[in-house]
Every structure is written in C-alpha cells, then in structure tokens.
Amino acid sequence: MRQSFLFTKTRKEAPKDEVSQNAKLLIRAGFIHKELAGVYSYLPLGLRVLEKVVGVIREEMNTIGGQEVTLTALQDKKVWETTGRWDDTVLDVWFKTKLKNDTELGLGTTHEEQLTALMKDYIASYRDLPRYVYQFQTKFRNETRAKSGIMRGREFLMKDLYSFSADQKSHDDFYEKTKQAYSRIFARLGLGDRTYVTFASGGSFSKYSHEFQTVTDAGEDSIFVDENSKVAINKEVFTDETLKSLGLSKEGFVEKKSVEVGNIFSLGTRFSDAFGLNFIASDGTKKPVIMGSYGIGPGRLMGTIVELLSDEKGIIWPLVVAPFKLHLVALFDKEDKVRVYADALYQRLTEQGMEVLYDDRDQRAGEKFADADLIGIPYRVIVSDKTIGENVLEFKNRKTGETTKISETELQKMMAKKTE
C-alpha cells in the first residue's frame, strides 16, 4: 500500500466528544470513523487489523473442532418468544423494527435461540453429537452507555460459538478446551500476561461462568486478583460464600479495574428444553442436548490492545495484528534519487510477500515520523539521501525505539524471522 494512495488521513485531534483513549488514537490514525456514539466504521487500516484479530480467533476455534457459519441479523419474534427473551423486561438491549406488513423483527443481540432452533434439523441421534458451531457476526445492542470507543458498541462484531453435547462430561471437556483456546488467543495477541480467567456469575445456567478479564485502567469492570495463584474473581461474586466454595480466603486478593474480553457459559438444557432439541441416546431413550456458549468481541480486543499497547506518540501494534509489518518511510531529495531507490525497494519487498506501507508522500520528515509513530506499525525502514550514500537502510523498532543500520539483505532475513 502506498500511503499517497490511502484515502484516509491522520489528524492531530480526535473528536471533542470522544473520551476513550482507544477511539482517540484509532480515529486520529485513520483506522476508524465515528458515525455516532457506540457506532464506528472500520477504514482500510482498521479493517486489516480487525481481520487479523478475527484470523487468530478463527484458527483457535477451528483447532478445537468449530464449524463456521453466518447466521442472520434479522431475528424472528416467535423464536425469541419461545424462551421469553423477546420481552424487554427480560432482555433490555433490543433494537426492534417492523416489516411493511407490520411483522415485528429484532436485530440480533446474541444467537442462542436462532441456532438452537436451526439445529433441530440436524441433531436427532447421539451419532450427531457433539457439534460445535461458531460465527463472526454483527450484533446490535441498545446499550445505555457507549463511552468506551470500540470496547463497548451498539453495533459490533462478535465471535459466538455454541456447543451441543450428549452428556455433562462431554460438555465439561469441551468447556475446558475452549477455556484453553481462549487463553492461547489472548497470549498470541499480546494480552496474555494481563488477562485472567475470572470466576463470574453463572446466572440461571450454572454456579459459575468464566470471564476473561484484561487488567486496564480503561476497564469498566472490577475484579479481585491473587497474583500468586493467578485466581481472579469478578467483584459481583466476590463473597465469603464464593471464596469458601473455591477453597480460598480473602488474603492476597487485590481489586483491579479490567475489561471483559471474552466469556464462556454453561447453558445446560434451558434452550434445548424450550425448543425441544432432543436426541435418541444409544440406549434408545430421548434426552435433551446440553449446550454452552462462548463469546469474544474482536473489536473490543482491538480496542483493548490500543489501550494497553500505546504510548504518548501513538499506537504500538503487536506484529500478529499490525495492519502492515513494515513501514517504509522515504525522505525525498530534490534530485528524486531517493524516490527512485525507494520505489524500487518497495517493489522488491512486496514481490517477496512482505506487508509494507510505503510513505511516498511529499511531506516533511517530522510529519512522516509523527504519522508513523501514531499509526504504530512495528518496524520502520527509513530511506534518505544519507542512507543511500552510506549504502544502508535505517531500521527502527517502534516498541523499543531502537534504531540500527542494516543492509537490504539483512532486512529481508530479519523480517523473515519476525513472528511476534
């Protein structure tokens, strides 16, 4: 990508009504555009990051046996009335609308009901189980507050996986596999050392669910963490009863602000009972399917990364989700010697399969460096009249700020080895 071709521009200031750090930086760097509170469009750079976050999640879901689908956003009122969750007093974040014939519809907030109804066509026998189905799909939630940028939206992308098991042991085994897969996802995204598997309320489904909470001052949640055992408990269930049931004492727990980046729930047979999702067991008896649900918000993850991995100059993307691996910055001279060299270098690097953003704009060096710091691509190569004269490239690590002089061959070898 040539930066002169990129239609988005950096900006010195974020919208005055934007309070979250992630939205301020992402808007200023040209990754997202604010449509209204809690609603953001993803621009070319932002979409590249979002798709890479999705790619990491997809790999881990496929590893544990997930099958990907895409369900509809428009929801049938009758399906939700089956479980009572069409009622606004039960589920208070609905966006509802009507067809021209006055048929009521909802915009999906989650998809337990729809998928349970769908799976009645595909699950009849124990031989059809287990099944693990997931999607990346836009959710709509009429949130009262939407002040955390892309970390809390009214329209947002969600990865939701649903498990269908024949018995409790099969469900529990998959639940644990998913928990481990989630931990791998957060580790791969650079959040592993700050993200805790957190005991939370299981609601009406089970005694506990598990949240994945990332410690950050930008978080809206509070958790209690024991750093020695790495056990974390959501403040909402941090009671003497909870501690006793877990065999723990309050000693050693410290309260921290955090953001929920994922959650996993045991659903039992609530939805299968409501929809009659049963199967014939090996002994010939009819039994209800045991279900679970497992969610991660890719956009929320992207916002959390920005909150934690940024500095006073801008964003510092982990290599695995950076929009480009390398930022080629050319400082042009009057004779166009630098432009000719940089154009050729860009061509060679892209032909070798390297992801490169090439700053070929006619801007001053200071402006280019400031934009590069703001955008936050992990590695930077600077080409100037001076570097050409010395027959070297100036290589800079965005995270450490370290600058070295290397050859093009060394650059190619170095980038080939960069995996994190």
CATH of the domain at 409: 3.40.50.800
Same domain membership, residue 38 and residue 185:
yes
263 C-beta neighbours (distance < 10 Å), count? 18
Same domain membership, residue 363 and residue 305:
no
The answer as to whether 12 is a domain residue is no
The answer as to whether 319 is a domain residue is no
| pLDDT of the residue at 403 | 95
- At residue 150, the 3 state secondary structure works out as helix
Domains of the chain: total: 2
Same domain membership, residue 168 and residue 93:
yes
CA torsion 269-272-277-280 (nearest 10°) is 0
Which pLDDT band holds residue 153 (cuts at 50, 70, 90)?
A: confident
Sheet-wide strand order for 95-98: 74-76, 104-107, 95-98
Which pLDDT band holds residue 204 (cuts at 50, 70, 90)?
A: low
For the residues 367-393, what does the mean pLDDT come to? 95
| pLDDT of the residue at 205 | 63
Same domain membership, residue 164 and residue 102:
yes
Q: β-strand 310-311 against 290-296: which pairing, if any?
A: unpaired
| pLDDT of the residue at 278 | 98
Same domain membership, residue 173 and residue 261:
yes
The residue from 311, 338, 372 where one domain ends is 311
pLDDT at 35 over 70: yes
For the residues 273-290, what does the mean pLDDT come to? 97
Same domain membership, residue 176 and residue 212:
yes
Which pLDDT band holds residue 420 (cuts at 50, 70, 90)?
A: very low
The b/e string for 73-106 (b: 16+ C-beta within 10 A; e otherwise) is: bebbeebbebbebbeeeebeebbeeeeeeeeebb
Q: Write the Ramachandran bin of 116: left for phi over 0, alpha for psi from -120 to 50, otherwise beta.
A: alpha
- Domain range holding 397? 326-417
CATH of the domain at 266: 3.30.930.10
337-351 and 408-417 helices cross at what angle (nearest 10)?
40
